[in-house]
Amino acid sequence: MAGHNSLESCFATKQRKWVRKLPPELNLLKLVRGQEKMKKILLSITSIIFAGAILATGTGAYLSDTEKSTGNTFATGVIDLKIDNESYITNEWGKLVYSTSTSWELSPLAGKFFFNFLDIKPGDIGEDTISLHVNNNNAWACMNILLTATPENGQNEPESLVDVTTGENSGELQDKLYFKFWADDGDNVYEIGEKIFKKGLVKDIWNGENWAIADSNGNIWGGDDPLIGNSVRYIGKAWCFGDMQDYPVTQDGLGKTGNNGPLVRGTGFKCEGEEIGNIVQSDGVKADVTFSVIQSRGNDGFICGNDEEEDKSTVTLCKTDETGKPLSGWTLNLNDGLPGNIEDYSGVTLQNGCVAFTGVSYGTHEISEVLQEGWEHVSGAGGLGVIVNDPTETFIVVNKLKVEEENNQYCSHGYWKASQHFDSWSGYSPNQLYSSVFDNAFPGKTLLQVLQLGGGGLNQLGRETVVALLNAGSLDFPYSQAQVISMFNGAYPGTNTAYSTLVGQFVIPENCPLN
């Protein structure tokens, strides 16, 4: 066994016969001297022989030696990736400042956010640098970002004038938010000579595909090495809400010193937001960010992404009318909206109003339909962006029968909230509590106050419901006042998608015969 040494030594003693001679005077004794003396001699001889036996016993011990190797151990090595983050954001005064909510010391990623900015404005820019620490063993490293939601978050009046999509995941921020990732030296500044390894709009690059930080094809800092155990590497990332331009600063070759960061030297980028417009007001994006490492020793050919099986989903599209009744025989389409990676599915709804598509890739997709004569679209199709990120997904497309415009009348909320038209309110008064007519969606507010609310979602439904109630009482409107009340109470409480669907039923082209 390794670590055990044995030495075979041979020592021996010669065999001897142990004899003790009697003193000469005893040899001269004669038996005739009497029996008593003879007894004494015999006793003496017995004692001498016994002593010799004791001496002989001492010669039976062997020489020996023992060597022991203890605590022999095998133990596995460790690959433990930990990350810290230093982040900067444009504040309300347009100045770049340190972001405490998205910066943290060395730790695992659970509970941490690289992005958590809830009030960005066109022209805002942000920067942060990630440091990667791999414990003990050299490792390959991969990174990916998966877009998980594009919330509309309702619509205010400026957005509603230019944005016709109102679904829960129908936001447009992913179309306007630009990112760049580069191999940094730790100073949080994009410098001349540093490599940008990924860039693009959120909608194009947050697709869940693995990015190679270091694999057998090379690493982003140059060279073919993996991440070295017990070393630190840095990834810089910057984002712009608008048009992003590179302005790399002079390379100082110092790494992070504490006084050469973005607050002193700038980020290395500029952001212009003049062309954004109102279509993205209140919109958002959400994403999952993942880093993974795997030992490089014995894994020389590792390529990021080669060991993964692409996630697939079964997506079910269902068609209903505005009452929720299933519609069969409708053609529905599901299209992969990613550039250069077109994935098309098409099918006809069954008796239950649904059609299922299997093997659909995770990511952003668009729903479209073949509109049948006499019907019009309400929600859930017409280029609606949906996020597929679960093994099974279901999306509902709602249609309604067309209403002949010439047979219906409609006055907008602008008419009904004008004080000179209060006398046209039939059956209800402006100061009447909303909760006295409908479910209590707006505690303490009057019909007029709800009519004056801004924003999308429930606020939009509330004001359009008041308009529908008043139109139903005074005009040739598609619904009666009792139907309007029942329709609102059936949708509340509910989702923004349900609210948007009902708004689409209440709002028809304006045809107001009142003065």
Domain boundaries, the chain: 81-295, 312-401, 405-506
Say whether 481 sits in a helix, a strand or coil. Answer: helix
User: 112-151 pLDDT, tens per residue?
Assistant: 888 888 889 999 999 999 999 887 789 999 999 988 888 8
- Report, as an integer, the average pLDDT of 208-231: 91
Q: Any bridge partners for residue 390, and if so which? A: none
Range of 12-26, 34-48, 310-324 with top mean pLDDT? 310-324
Long-range pairs for 15-22: beta carbons < 8 A, 24 or more residues apart = 16/59, 18/52, 18/55, 18/56, 19/52, 20/48, 20/51, 20/52
In this structure, of 36-50, 288-302, 501-515, the range with the lowest mean pLDDT score is: 36-50
268 neighbors 191 (Cβ within 8 angstroms): yes
- Report, as an integer, the average pLDDT of 83-98: 92
Tokens of 275: 């062309």
In this predicted structure, what is the pLDDT of residue 150? Answer: 87
User: 45-83 pLDDT, tens per residue?
Assistant: 333 333 333 333 444 456 655 554 444 545 444 567 888
Q: What is the mean pLDDT of the chain?
A: 80
Q: How far, in whole angstroms, is CA 43 from its chain's centroid?
A: 103
Q: With pLDDT > 90 as the criterion, what percentage of the chain qualifies? A: 31
| Confidence band for 459, pLDDT divided at 50, 70 and 90 | very high
* Alpha-carbon gap, residue 190 to 270, rounded angstroms: 11
| Confidence band for 240, pLDDT divided at 50, 70 and 90 | very high
Res 404 pLDDT > 90: no
| Nearest-5° Cα angle at 174, 172 to 175 | 70
Torsion of CA 449, 452, 453, 459, to 10 degrees: 90
- Report, as an integer, the average pLDDT of 414-429: 90
The third-level CATH classification (topology) of the domain covering 312-401 is Immunoglobulin-like (2.60.40)
In this predicted structure, what is the pLDDT of residue 20? Answer: 43
Q: Please tell me what DSSP assigns to residue 436.
A: G
Q: Are strands 125-134 and 196-201 parallel, antiparallel or unpaired?
A: unpaired
In this predicted structure, what is the pLDDT of residue 32? Answer: 39
Residues making up the chain, counted from first to last: 515
Long-range pairs for 108-113: beta carbons < 8 A, 24 or more residues apart = 108/82, 108/83, 109/83, 109/289, 109/291, 112/83, 112/85
- Nearest Cα to 398, choosing from 249, 502, 290, 262? 502
* Alpha-carbon gap, residue 364 to 332, rounded angstroms: 17
pTM for the whole structure:
0.53
397 neighbors 369 (Cβ within 8 angstroms): yes
* Alpha-carbon gap, residue 403 to 76, rounded angstroms: 73
Residues 6 or more apart whose Cβ sits within 8 Å of residue 328: 319, 349, 350, 351, 352, 353
* Alpha-carbon gap, residue 499 to 462, rounded angstroms: 9
Residue 88 φ/ψ, nearest 5 degrees: -135, 150
Q: Any bridge partners for residue 367, and if so which? A: 334, 384
In this predicted structure, what is the pLDDT of residue 167? Answer: 74
